[in-house]
Amino acid sequence: MRKCVYVGFIVKNILTIIFRKVTQVTNLIVTLIQGISLGSIYALIALGYTMVYGIAKMLNFAHGDIIMVGAYLIYTSVALAHCSPILGILISVASCALLGIVIEFLAYRLLRRASSLSVLITAIGVSYFLQNIALLVFGSEPKSIPVLFNIPAIQIGNSITITGETMLTLGLTVIIMTALTIFINKTKLGKAMRAVSEDKDAAMLMGINVNRTISITFAIGSIMAAFASLCYGISYTYIKPTTGSMPGIKAFTAAVFGGIGSIPGAMLGGILLGVIEKLSMAYISTQFTDAIVFGVLILVLIIKPTGLLGKQIREKV
């Protein structure tokens, strides 16, 4: 009798330990899925940063605010003008591309040979200009983006759920990264962009229209911001004039983390940043999440200054 009680006690403890381990693994998997979903949004934004910097060698810190503009355009088209979601997204993409071209023409074109500090100050000015325009037009109250797509979730077991938003964001990021890589490496315009990236003066002597090439680069970067605004809108639903500020800063961090100028690096950096952020929130502290994220960035840059997939560039003096 005592032996049966003893065996039952041991079995009970073993089952309790197994249950706890399974719960811990399940929670870890859920956290990783959430991190990949958030990281995919960062990756989309970082792709825009890395496109502009890789070709034009300019850091467009107003890029995050283009996300905010794209989100408001989707909100205006779908919620106010009652357009279909697809039409609202197309309006957002086209308008953001045009906005990117206008910003490059009015704010950055004359600063190509200026100091980095001048470009930085101009970018901050453009950022605040866009935020204040949105504040005047839409006010400070958050706006709710309506449901655009009803994508069914995937249920794995009883505890793990992959939402439709996560699948859409990750799938869109992979497709865009692949398309950009093919575009840069295989098309005539992509080769022109690489030539401009290497040497603008030499590219001009070879007959490449540098102004048009850089304008198209800004347009493509802004299209990335429009798609990021779509993913951000379906994941977080509420937008306000400062919506793009923090995601923009973190996406720039992701671009540097992965190696700014590298398209695969931007995606890798975005995914890793999202995973690190969610893991730190789940297992350390929500109050120190940003500190941990930027601390990891500093550590990576100390070990590898060019980022994870960045290349060392030697400059002639």
Domain residue limits at 253: 247-311
Stated pTM of the model: 0.84
Instruction: Kindly give, in sequence order, each residue whose CB lies less than 8 Å from that of residue 105, ignoring residues fewer than 6 positions away.
Output: 215
Crossing angle of helices 263-283 and 2-56, in 10° steps, is: 140
For residue 84, being part of any structural domain is answered with: yes
Q: Are residues 80 and 228 in the same domain?
A: yes
Which residues in the chain land under pLDDT 70? 1-25, 157-159, 310-317
Q: Are residues 127 and 198 in the same domain?
A: yes
**H helix runs in the chain, sequence order:** 2-56, 63-75, 85-103, 116-138, 164-186, 188-198, 200-205, 210-236, 245-258, 263-283, 289-303
Of 96, 80, 240, the C-alpha closest to 146 is 80
pLDDT of residue 23: 61
In which element (H, E) is residue 239 found? strand 238-239
**Separation of first and last alpha carbons in the chain:** 88
Q: Are residues 281 and 165 in the same domain?
A: no
Distance of CA 225 to the CA centre of its chain: 8
Task: Give the domain-ending residue among 184, 213, 243.
Answer: 243
Q: Are residues 239 and 258 in the same domain?
A: no
Each residue of 108-123: pLDDT tens digit?
888 877 777 888 888 8
Classify residue 306 by its DSSP letter. Answer: T
Q: Are residues 68 and 216 in the same domain?
A: yes
Q: Are residues 112 and 222 in the same domain?
A: yes
pLDDT of residue 317: 46
pLDDT of residue 91: 92
For residue 235, being part of any structural domain is answered with: yes
Q: Are residues 186 and 251 in the same domain?
A: no
pLDDT of residue 16: 57
Structure tokens at 259: 């190696």
Task: Give the domain-ending residue among 210, 243, 276.
Answer: 243
Structure tokens at 92: 């957002």
Q: Are residues 151 and 252 in the same domain?
A: no
Each residue of 235-248: pLDDT tens digit?
777 888 888 888 88
Q: Are residues 235 and 104 in the same domain?
A: yes
